[in-house]
Amino acid sequence: MDGLVDVGGYRLATTRTGSGTPPVALVSGLGSGVRQWSGVLAALSPLTTVLAYARPGLEGSDPLPAALRVPHEPAWAADQLRDLLAALAVPARRVLVGHSVGALVAEAYAARWPEDVAGIVLVDPTYPPLDQELTRPLQVHVDAEDGIHFAWHDWEPLPVPGVPAVVVSSAVGRWLDLSGSETAAYYRPLTMAEMDRRWQGWQRDWAVRTGAAQVIARAGGHAVHQTSPALVALAVEAVVAAAREKRRVRLAAAAVSVAGGVLAGQ
Mean pLDDT of 5-20: 96
Q: Which pLDDT band, with edges at 50, 70 and 90, does 209 fall under? A: very high
List pLDDT tens digits, range 147-204: 999 998 889 999 999 999 999 999 999 999 999 899 899 999 999 999 999 999 999 9
Taking the C-alpha atoms of residue 153 and residue 145, their distance in angstroms, rounded to an integer, is 20
> Mean pLDDT across the stretch 37-45?
97
Quote the percentage of the chain above a pLDDT of 70. 99
Helices marked H in 32-100 — which ranges? Answer: 38-44, 74-87
**Residue-level pLDDT at 135:** 86
Distance of alpha carbon 76 from alpha carbon 244, whole angstroms: 29
Look up the CATH architecture of domain 2-263: 3-Layer(aba) Sandwich (3.40)
22-46 average pLDDT score: 97
The helix (H) or strand (E) run that includes residue 100 is none
What mean pLDDT value characterizes the chain?
Answer: 95
CA distance 4 to 17: 15
pTM reported for the whole predicted model: 0.97
Q: How many CB atoms lie within 10 A of CB 36?
A: 20
Region 66-94 average pLDDT: 96
Q: Which residues contact 168 (CB under 8 A, 6 or more apart)?
A: 121, 122, 123, 124, 214, 215, 216, 217, 224, 225, 228, 231, 232, 235, 261
Q: Is 266 a residue whose pLDDT tops 80?
A: no
Asked which of 69-83, 127-141, 154-168, 243-257 is least confident by mean pLDDT, the reply is 127-141
Asked if the model's pLDDT at residue 1 lies above 70, the reply is no
- Looking only at the bridges linking them, the beta strands covering 149-150 and 165-169 are unpaired
Which pLDDT value is given to residue 102?
98
Is residue 137 predicted with pLDDT exceeding 90?
Answer: no
